[in-house]
Structure formats: structure tokens, C-alpha cells
Amino acid sequence: MSNKVTFRWSQSPSAAIGVPLMQRVATLPPLLMALAGTHAARGEAVMKSGAPWNDQTGYARGALYGRAEGTNIHLGTANSEYGLYLELGTSKMAARPIIVPSLEVVAAAYYRDVVIVIKGVLFG
């Protein structure tokens, strides 16, 4: 009598785990791009509502933008010269930053939400 034990996969690990995992991972890029768009818009709203200066013409506030490119979020100003002076200050004017503080807030929320989405897709 033999004590030989045989084992046979009824389904290979790559078929049972790998294929479903790859299918789930494939759904991530559009979800993360949409999430980036949402947070970029939020960042623009945060900047425009929280800019720490008094408007003279409204141009500096109106030039603030938030946009997403793929899964990257960009916050900035289209008013490159004056916006830079407001953000960093000059020898005659104190800095009145809004881009960097807003980016710090938005980035923290974005990364938190990215983790939630990834966990939801992979384990949900």
C-alpha cells in the first residue's frame, strides 16, 4: 500500500487569483482620474474662497486654477508675475500664500481618498 498523496489544481492560481485581480486593477485608472478631477476642482474652490488678500480688480483671484492631468492635480495661477508676488512676497510686500497651503490640504484628502478607492476595488 502506498502513502503517496497526489494533488491537482482544479483551477490554476493565475486563473483563480491573477485574472480577477488584473480585471479589478484595470478599473482603477478611470476611477483615480475622476477622483483627481474632483479634488482639483475642490482645490481651485479652496484657493479662490480662501485667498488672503483684498481684491482690487479680482484678476488675481480669478487667475487661480485647479486642474487634473491624468491622476495628477495641479493648483496654480495663470497670473504668473503678480501671482508669484502674492504667493512668495517681495521686499516691499509680505507673502500672502494660498497655492501651497491649498495644495497641502487637497493632497492629504486626495491621497486618503485614493487609498479608499484602491481598497474598495481590490477588497470590496
What is the maximum span of the chain, computed from C-alpha positions, in angstroms?
96
Q: Is residue 102 part of a domain?
A: yes
pLDDT digits (tens, 9 = 90+) for 78-95: 987 888 999 999 999 999
| 104 belongs to a structural domain | yes
pLDDT tens column, 57-85: 999 999 999 999 999 999 999 987 888 99
Domain that holds residue 95: 21-123
Residue 2 lies in a domain: no
All three cell numbers of 49: 474662497
**Number of domains present in the structure of the chain:** 1
* 85 within a domain of the structure (yes/no): yes
Domain presence at residue 94: yes
Residue 82 lies in a domain: yes
Is residue 27 in some structural domain?
A: yes
Q: Is 94 within 8 Å of 74 (Cβ atoms)?
A: no
Identify the pLDDT of residue 2: 67
